[in-house]
Amino acid sequence: MSRYSRQEKLFGMEGQKKLSAATVTVAGCGGLGTYLSLLLTSAGVGKIRLVDGGKPSETDLNRQFFYTGAKGFKADILSEKLREVNPDVEIETICRFIEEDNAPETIGKCDVIADCLDTVRSRLVINKYAVLNNIPLAHGGIDGFYGQATFMIPGRTPCLRCILRGTDERVPDSIAPIVSLIASVQASDIVKFMTGSGETTAGKLFTVFAGTNDYSTVAISPDPKCPVCGRIQ
Ligand SMILES: [Zn+2]
């Protein structure tokens, strides 16, 4: 029995091979990135590129459990933990923050980008790169008891610029159960997309407000005037 035998029943040996051949760039190694990369490493994704220029701080530890007591860049610390979880997965670390002018070197070539960032500004940078390079993007975001996720496929679904509103004027509240829930939706979308099994949240927005146990999935439409993906420029 292989370590993947329980999940191979879901998408077959062929699906597992596709997963093992996939490269995923995880943009951001905070709460979402910690959980998501752990889930993808366990699932046997072939290569994971961890991108984050930050170092752990005390206020991260209520949800970023791998960083307790460690020094250095988050991406490097996380990569060591992930190698212990599954040594078959190739882990690359890029200890830099993603900016528009370094996106080709930091995000790089990959099959999917996981949006595990925490600002609108940085999300719009990876969104633009994803649309221009035709790379699917698994978006996740949280604020307190609220969380949302959608799987963006360039040319088929709205891009993040079509749906993201708001500013970066305040740091969102954050609690581990909601972070891990949204990271799980993102990781589930990536696994389903790579193996061709089930349905992703493409064209839909999954939302949760755990304060009142409200979970929903609503259809979303591209903005024809979107400056990134719109047909009317
Ligand atoms: Zn758009």
Residue-wise pLDDT for 142-173, tens only, equals 999 999 999 999 999 999 999 997 778 788 88
Q: Please, which pLDDT band fits residue 215 given cuts at 50, 70 and 90?
A: very high
One-letter amino acid for residue 173 of the chain: D
Q: How far is the CA of 157 from the centre of ligand 1 (A)?
A: 8
- Mean pLDDT of the 194-203 span: 96
The sign of the torsion formed by the CA atoms of 137, 200, 163, 206 equals negative
The sign of the torsion formed by the CA atoms of 102, 108, 113, 116 equals negative
Q: How far is the CA of 69 from the centre of ligand 1 (A)?
A: 41
Q: How far is the CA of 15 from the centre of ligand 1 (A)?
A: 30
Q: How far is the CA of 46 from the centre of ligand 1 (A)?
A: 30
Q: How far is the CA of 117 from the centre of ligand 1 (A)?
A: 18
Q: Please, which pLDDT band fits residue 67 given cuts at 50, 70 and 90?
A: very high
Q: How far is the CA of 180 from the centre of ligand 1 (A)?
A: 27
Distance (Å, rounded) from C-alpha 139 to C-alpha 148?
8
Q: Is the pLDDT of residue 8 over 80?
A: yes
CATH architecture of 5-219: 3-Layer(aba) Sandwich (3.40)
Q: Is the pLDDT of residue 233 over 80?
A: no
